[in-house]
Amino acid sequence: MNLRAIHGDEFETVAGWLQDEENSRWLDFGGGRRSVDAMGLKIMSQRSLHCLRVYGPSDAPTPVGVVGLSNVDREFGTGEVWFVLGEQEYRRRNLTVRAVSAMLDHGFRVMGLQSVFAWTVEANRGGRRVLERLNFTQVGRRRRCHRVKGQLYDRLHFDLLAEEFRSYPEPTKGSGGIATAALTKEER
Per the domain annotation, does 180 fall within a domain? no
State the residue range of the domain holding 94. 2-167
Per the domain annotation, does 112 fall within a domain? yes
Give the model's confidence band at 164: pLDDT under 50 very low, under 70 low, under 90 confident, else very high: very high
Q: What is the pLDDT of residues 78-106, one digit of tens each?
A: 999 999 999 999 898 899 999 999 999 99
Say which residue, 122 or 180, is predicted with more confidence.
Answer: 122
CA angle 175, 178, 180 (to 5 degrees): 80
Q: By percentage, how much of the chain surpasses pLDDT 70?
A: 90
Q: What is the dihedral of CA 132, 133, 136, 141, to 10 degrees?
A: -10
Q: By percentage, how much of the chain surpasses pLDDT 90?
A: 82
Residues 6+ apart with CB under 8 A from 27: 18, 34, 35, 82, 84
Q: Which amino acid is at 60?
A: A
Task: Write down the pLDDT at residue 172.
Answer: 55
Give the model's confidence band at 180: pLDDT under 50 very low, under 70 low, under 90 confident, else very high: very low
* pTM exceeding the 0.75 threshold for the entire prediction: yes
Neighbours of 141 (CB within 10 A): 12
Please give the tally of structural domains in the chain: 1
Per the domain annotation, does 20 fall within a domain? yes
Which CATH number characterizes residue 14's domain?
Answer: 3.40.630.30
Q: What is the DSSP string of 145-178?
A: EEEETTEEEEEEEEEEEGGG--PPPPPPTTSTT-
Residue 176 has pLDDT above 80, yes or no: no
Per the domain annotation, does 174 fall within a domain? no
